[in-house]
Amino acid sequence: MSTMEMDPVFTGALREALKATVMDSPRVRRRWRWRTGTGVLLGVTLVAGGVAVASGLFSPPGAPVDTLLGSVISATRTGTASVDIGAPPATATDVSLALTCLTAGSFDFPDGSSMTCDATDLTRPSIYRTASEVVPLTAGVDSVTIQTSPDATWTLQVTYVNQVKTSWGVNANGQTYGVSNQQGTPDLIAVVVDQGKTQGYVEQRELNCASGGDVKSLSEAATWNETSKNRNITIPVYENDGVTIIGTFTVGSATGPNVRTVPLSSLSLGC
């Protein structure tokens, strides 16, 4: 056995222990990102959205409707800290949180979801480094605690809300339409394109296909990622009938002189 190689028995056991650790760990949500392409997928972000409520965005079927109760409290802190939000109004069901990072670091919401910010994020407008959450009330708790990496500075905007859940719509062809929620993902998924001017739906199947959802292995994923550096794919945006086309939704965020933007219908992706 060469000393320049690890003990193969130890290596094999360590590899299995690492795999087990990864698979047994609590799941961390993906990094929160607002889409920078030409369309916004209305999904968890809007469902979560104190910000969406405040800006009065289109509220499609399946999205909970939040009504703000009282004023918005804004507080800036460094490191793990709590923000006092006072006693909840009688009709409050949830707390709406919008967290903006002011320095690099990692930031954990009370429900375990998290956001990380790096130096690049800090050069961008604050909306690109703000994550929103709506978390259910916890009886007897009238403060919100954000856990962070050491010395990470953040601003939290927080308010009580009354949340009413809604159901997906169903069109004449039997397709469900609306936003993804705890029931799953509808056949037609709500999107906003043209910088907010057009609101419509993309087909779940077409979105998955254009997003590389059919990739089955790491090597296929690597090939897909390589191709996606120079390619964006457009898919149709429909009315809620799933037939009338009212715009296009761009999947991918490739930029540069060599980037092609092509309709999904022109590709043979087999999905």
Partner 1 sequence: MGSLTEESAAWAASLENDGNAFAVIFDLHRDRVYHHALRMTIDVHVAEDVVAATFFELWRRRKSVRVVDGSVLPWLLVTTTNISRNLTRGIRRYRALIASLPRATEMRSSEDLALETIEEIRLAAKVREAMGTLPPADAALIALTAFERYSPAQAAAALGITEGAARTRLHRARVRIAAALGNLEVDTNVTKETSR
Q: What are the residues binding partner 1 (CB under 8 A)?
A: 1-11, 13-15, 17-23, 25, 27-28, 30, 104-106, 114, 116, 118-119, 149, 218-219, 221-223, 225-226
Tokens of 255: 């930029």
Closest approach of Cβ 199 to partner 1, in Å?
30
Residue (5 or 123) nearer to partner 1, CB: 5
Hey, what amino acid is at 92?
A
Closest approach of Cβ 171 to partner 1, in Å?
32
Length of the chain (residues): 271
Residue (19 or 165) nearer to partner 1, CB: 19
Residue (104 or 137) nearer to partner 1, CB: 104
Q: How far apart are CA 79 and CA 25, in angstroms?
A: 24
Residue (10 or 268) nearer to partner 1, CB: 10
Closest approach of Cβ 68 to partner 1, in Å?
30
Q: How far apart are CA 200 and CA 153, in angstroms?
A: 37
Element (H, E) at 227: helix 218-228
Helix (H, G, I), strand (E, B) or coil at 85: coil
Hey, what amino acid is at 1?
M
Residue (117 or 237) nearer to partner 1, CB: 117
Closest approach of Cβ 247 to partner 1, in Å?
29
Q: Output Rg (C-alpha) for the chain, integer angstroms.
A: 22
Closest approach of Cβ 79 to partner 1, in Å?
14
Tokens of 155: 């601003």
Residue with tokens 């375990």: 112
Tokens of 62: 């399946």
